[in-house]
Amino acid sequence: MTTRMRSFNEVLLSVENISLSFGGVKALTDISFDIAKGEIRAIIGPNGAGKSSMLNCINGFYHPQQGAITYKGVRRSQMKPHEAAEQGIARTFQNIALFRGMSTLDNIMTGRNLRMKTGLFWQALHIGPAQREEIENRKVVERIIDFLEIQHIRKAPVGQLPYGLQKRVELGRALAAEPELLLLDEPMAGMNIEEKQDMCRFILDVNDEFGTTICLIEHDMGVVMDISDRVVVLDYGRKIGDGVPDEVRSNEAVVAAYLGVSH
Amino acid sequence: MLGPFLETLIGGLLTGVLYSLVALGFVLIFKASGVFNFAQGAMVLFAALTIARLSGEIDGKEVHLANFVVAAAILGVAVAFIGWYAWREYVARGAGPGERRKLQMLAAAGALVGGIAAYSYGKGAWPIWLAIAATAAIMGLLAYAIERLVLRHLVNQEGIILFMATLGIAYFLDGFGQTLWGSDIYKINLGLPKDPLFLFEGVFPGGLLVDPGELVAAAIAAGLVVVLAIFFQKTRVGRALRAVADDHAAAQSVGIPLNTIWLIVWTVSGLVALAAGLIWGAKLGVQFSISLIALKALPVLILGGFTSVPGAIVGGLIIGAGEKLSEVFLAPILVKQFDLAGGGIENWFAYMLALVFLLFRPQGLFGERIIERV
């Protein structure tokens, strides 16, 4: 198994002492870690460890009761999801959240939403600047479709596509926003080996070619150890490990959380 | 035989256009929020009442001066709202070109209100175009209030809860319209030609009798439909609206602000309600029963599909034409063959047709068929 050794020095996002609870249930307790610009950062942990809650805090779906998140040098205790999107944070979801009634093309075009600016007036008439803008953005979307090798399903309604392809369309929609930070919630869940390999290749290509910083949640340990630069481990809402894959693999608390402890 | 048949058909189709307009308002909100907006009929009534009272004819008498004061006060509140919003934005972000434009818009709105008030005192009743413009502003304000006070607090709730909220809004609007404008029967005078047209006199003996007012109504509806269809299918905001309908969380994650989208969609459906109210009011007079038209839009929606703009139009036309034709041609047959009384077909025909559709094509003519994976 080869582990990639790269070094990063600029911090893109840092999470400071985040605590989140729903009623009496503590989802996250005093979590701190950072994501460096350009790296692939994985969050792992057993089911119910709070991984998705962590992503939801970063992109503004959840507002933690304590702690703050510093992104690109700006420190906030909370922000709204569309503000996070405006700041260059895009994401995919654990249970695919595509716009089922729309085609692949329209779904990915929706990802261009923030890159398009013409006013309501021109859009209602669909002439002039609105039409030019539509054409320009369509070109970007076609490049993404080529990149993800989904030309053959461009016009297909996404609700009817197989699971693996839906995941790919969802990645396409997130990429369309040209994000600086891409959050992937279990991008390979429910895929067969071939589909997983394709998805790994896309994630690495996105990171290499566009320099996009990626934070991903994944259960497949082989995949996580292969592609990520650093790994955070959560268990019962607490951080129990943080470091490069080799360190995490030999961390006793992590091994215990995954395999159980003998008493 | 062909002459009367075509005449009935055309009359039915023109009524159908009005059903389509009401149904269109439903479709817009359903597409963008997955909510069946029970208040659409009430919005039509409210818009019609407002236009009628502002344009000033009650049983032929001009409206009393006090009403202008009421109207000016309402518009004043509208401007205050815009001003408050602009100020808030200004404080939140510091002045930029966008803020300057908002403040300019505010000044323009203030000037408009002042102008309208001055005009009213000098002239008496408002001209119809001014009444329509003011009503459009009021419908926009109404949309803002609904978003701000009701919908914003119900994000990510079940569809049935949003439906109950619209039920509440419907009864509030019905009542509030009467509180504000009274419950008499009003007329809207659009100044349309009243004399019936006789078309194709060469082809049919006596020609075909057509009401020119209804032709104008059909033209307005057709225009609205074309613009809305393009808007929904081909533009960024249209895509955003559909995205919000499909998945709130995913829409937010690509940077679509739910609140703004809801404001846009309620405003647009408010304007569609205005068009419908205007035409119904001009045709039949403004009265409480207008809000019950909402119920006629239900079979139209089932026929056309809840999510389809063209479906609302075609559904409306089929229902309109179907009920007129059945009344004129089916009723005599029932009377003759089965010795029935034969009346009232117009009342149940639409619902029977909808029932048949529910059995054989539940997604409607143009609706999306969602195939769920299990």
Task: Give CA–CA dist B338/A237, Å, rounded.
Answer: 76
Q: Which residues of A touch B234 (CB under 8 A)?
A: 126, 134
Q: Which residues of B touch A125 (CB under 8 A)?
A: 227
Is residue A76 within 8 A of residue A68, CB to CB? The reply is: yes
* HEC assignment per residue over B74-112: HHHHHHHHHHHHHHHHHHHHCCCHHHHHHHHHHHHHHHH
Q: Do B250 and A98 touch (CB under 8 A)?
A: yes
Q: Percent of chain B, pLDDT > 90?
A: 3
When divided into structural domains, chain B yields a total of: 1
Q: Is the dihedral of CA A79, A84, A89, A93 positive or negative?
A: positive
A105 touches chain B (CB under 8 A): no
Q: Between B235, B249, B370, which is nearest A130 by CB?
A: B235
Supply the pTM of this predicted model: 0.73
**In this structure, what token pair is assigned to residue B188?**
């809207």
pLDDT digits (tens, 9 = 90+) for B27-86: 888 877 778 888 888 999 999 888 887 776 544 445 555 555 666 666 667 666 666 665
Q: Do B240 and A106 touch (CB under 8 A)?
A: no
Q: Which residues pair with A66 in a beta bridge?
A: A19
**Interface probe, candidates B236, B247, B260, B271, chain A, greatest A C-beta count within 10 A:** B236
In a domain, B365, yes or no: no
A94 touches chain B (CB under 8 A): no
Q: According to DSSP H, which parts of A92-216 are helical?
A: 104-110, 120-125, 129-147, 163-176, 193-210
Is residue A56 within 8 A of residue A62, CB to CB? The reply is: yes
DSSP 8-state class, residue B330: I
Q: Do A126 and B246 touch (CB under 8 A)?
A: no
Q: How many CB pairs under 8 A join A and B?
A: 103
Which of these, A67, A4, A87, lies nearest to A41 by C-alpha position?
A4
In a domain, B357, yes or no: no
**In this structure, what token pair is assigned to residue A6?**
């790269």
**Interface probe, candidates A83, A94, A110, chain B, greatest B C-beta count within 10 A:** A110
Q: Between A59, A120, A124, which is nearest B253 by CB?
A: A59
Q: What is the pLDDT along chain A (263 residues), one digit of tens a residue?
A: 445 567 788 889 999 999 999 888 889 999 999 999 999 999 998 888 889 999 999 988 888 999 989 998 888 877 888 888 888 999 999 888 888 878 898 899 888 887 776 655 555 555 666 777 788 888 889 999 999 999 899 888 888 888 888 999 999 999 998 999 999 999 988 888 899 999 999 999 999 988 899 999 988 888 888 899 999 999 988 999 898 988 888 888 888 887 776 66
Q: Do A99 and B257 touch (CB under 8 A)?
A: no
Complex prediction ipTM: 0.78
Q: Which residues of A touch B227 (CB under 8 A)?
A: 124-125
Asked if residue B123 has pLDDT above 60, the reply is no
Q: Which residues of B touch A118 (CB under 8 A)?
A: 236
In a domain, B306, yes or no: no
B224 touches chain A (CB under 8 A): no
Task: Give CA–CA dist B287/B169, Å, rounded.
Answer: 19
In a domain, B363, yes or no: no
Q: Give the residue from chain B lying closest to A91, CA to CA.
A: B253
A61 touches chain B (CB under 8 A): yes
* HEC assignment per residue over A208-249: HHHCCEEEEECCCHHHHHHHCCEEEEEECCEEEEEECHHHHH
**Residue A159, min C-alpha distance to chain B (Å):** 7
In a domain, B13, yes or no: no
A19 touches chain B (CB under 8 A): no
Structural domains of chain A ordered from first start: 1-88+179-263 (3.40.50.300), 98-178 (no CATH)
Task: Give CA–CA dist B186/B282, Å, rounded.
Answer: 9
Q: Which residues of A touch B245 (CB under 8 A)?
A: 101
Between A128 and B123, residue with greater pLDDT: A128
Q: Between A91, A98, A109, which is nearest B239 by CB?
A: A109
Q: Do A113 and B368 touch (CB under 8 A)?
A: no
Largest CA distance in chain A: 73
How many CB atoms lie under 10 A from the CB of residue A151?
A: 10
Q: Do A111 and B227 touch (CB under 8 A)?
A: no
Q: Which domain holds residue B163?
A: 22-63+125-201+208-291
A82 touches chain B (CB under 8 A): yes
In a domain, B129, yes or no: yes
In a domain, B304, yes or no: no
Q: Do A97 and B253 touch (CB under 8 A)?
A: yes
